[in-house]
């Protein structure tokens, strides 16, 4: 997301036992905040993806490495839970490491920490490695040469992982919109983090005036493309949590999420 990832000399890999984590320093720059003066979810989200990509690349299983084998990493789940979002000019570091491999999935965890040691928050993500030709996920635990097992770091994060998100979508959608040019990522799909923005945009400014978003949990099910009509359904689940589902034509679920203010 930001140039500093690559250019800042303090971006680095670190050893934890035999395995390697990545640490990437950032500063909240003007024009990267939301109206409350804190880092926007769009920026943070894309930075989490960027750090995943950088760390994987440094370890030899990044986008380019996988592409040679006709494989591609696909984000399946993302949970971000924050004590608070950093403010303009505050420095923070995103640490990321791979904690687990199971069947067709791998868990990548994150800690977002201030320079004074405070924890801004944590994130939990789940990825699959898809074969480009067959579109089937690889069995990650049976890859040759032990696959990615040697990269595992046994360190957890103090937030709940992804749960099951269920909501009724038989009524009228809360909003219907279309995917356009500026929603697309380099693969021609709607950017994973853009869905989070679409969902955050369901809520009135008065809600953001009163309280920040504390936790976002997203389950990615299908890709959507330019021109797709997206129907967004939402249900208030109580305790500050709103469930959201985005469907494309044919009622196909693209994304489900639970968004918690508080």
What distance in Å separates the CA atoms of residue 50 and residue 191, rounded to the nearest whole number? 13
What distance in Å separates the CA atoms of residue 99 and residue 96, rounded to the nearest whole number? 9
Q: Does 49 bind a second copy (CB under 8 A)?
A: yes
For a second copy, the binding residue among 18, 35, 117, 158 (CB under 8 A) is 35
What distance in Å separates the CA atoms of residue 113 and residue 11, rounded to the nearest whole number? 14
CB 120 within 8 Å of CB 84: yes
Q: Does 29 bind a second copy (CB under 8 A)?
A: yes
What is the contact mask toward a second copy in residues 87 to 126, using x (rule: CB under 8 A)? -x--------------------------------------
Size of the site for a second copy (CB under 8 A): 46
Which residues ranging from 184 to 213 are in contact with a second copy (CB under 8 A)? 184-188, 191, 197, 200-201, 203-205, 208
Cβ distance to a second copy smaller for residue 26 or 97: 26
Helix (H, G, I), strand (E, B) or coil at 199: helix
Q: Does 7 bind a second copy (CB under 8 A)?
A: yes
Closest separation in Å from C-beta 37 to a second copy: 5
What is the contact mask toward a second copy in residues 63 to 92, using x (rule: CB under 8 A)? x------------------------x----
Closest separation in Å from C-beta 98 to a second copy: 19
Residues with Cβ < 8 Å from 6, sequence gap 6 or more? 54
Closest separation in Å from C-beta 5 to a second copy: 7
For a second copy, the binding residue among 19, 21, 22, 26 (CB under 8 A) is 26
Q: Does 228 bind a second copy (CB under 8 A)?
A: no
Compute CA 233 distance to the chain's CA centroid, rounded to the nearest angstrom: 21
Supply the DSSP symbol for 159.
S
Residues with Cβ < 8 Å from 172, sequence gap 6 or more? none
For a second copy, the binding residue among 19, 41, 121, 232 (CB under 8 A) is 41
Residues with Cβ < 8 Å from 259, sequence gap 6 or more? 199, 200, 203, 213, 215, 216, 217, 241, 242, 244
| Residue 216 CB burial class (10 angstroms; 0-12, 13-18, ≥19) | buried
Residues interacting with a second copy, by CB under 8 A? 1-8, 26-27, 29-35, 37, 40-42, 46, 49-50, 53, 63, 88, 180-188, 191, 197, 200-201, 203-205, 208, 226-227
């Amino acid at each position: 997301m930001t140039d500093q990832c690559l250019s800042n000399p303090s971006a680095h890999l670190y050893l934890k036992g035999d395995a390697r984590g990545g640490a990437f320093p950032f500063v909240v720059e003007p024009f990267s905040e939301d109206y409350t003066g804190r880092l926007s979810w769009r920026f943070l989200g894309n930075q989490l993806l960027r750090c995943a990509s950088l760390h994987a690349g440094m370890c030899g299983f990044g986008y380019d490495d996988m592409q040679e084998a006709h494989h591609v990493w696909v984000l399946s789940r993302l949970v971000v839970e924050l004590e608070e979002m950093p403010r303009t000019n505050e420095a923070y570091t995103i640490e990321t490491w791979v904690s687990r491999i199971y069947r067709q999935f791998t868990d990548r965890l994150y800690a977002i920490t201030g320079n004074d040691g405070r924890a801004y928050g944590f994130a939990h993500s789940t990825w699959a490695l898809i074969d480009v030709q067959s579109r089937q996920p690889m069995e990650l635990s049976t890859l040759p040469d032990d696959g990615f097992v040697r990269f595992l770091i046994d360190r957890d994060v103090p937030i709940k992982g992804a749960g099951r998100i269920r909501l009724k979508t038989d009524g009228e959608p809360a909003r219907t919109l279309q995917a356009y040019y500026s929603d697309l990522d380099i693969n021609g799909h709607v950017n994973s983090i853009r869905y989070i923005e679409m969902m955050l945009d369901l809520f009135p400014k008065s809600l953001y005036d009163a309280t920040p978003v504390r936790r976002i949990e997203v389950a990615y099910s299908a890709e959507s493309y330019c021109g797709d009509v997206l129907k967004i359904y939402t249900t208030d689940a109580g305790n500050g949590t709103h469930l959201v589902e985005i469907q494309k034509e044919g009622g196909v679920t693209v994304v489900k999420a639970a968004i918690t203010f508080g």
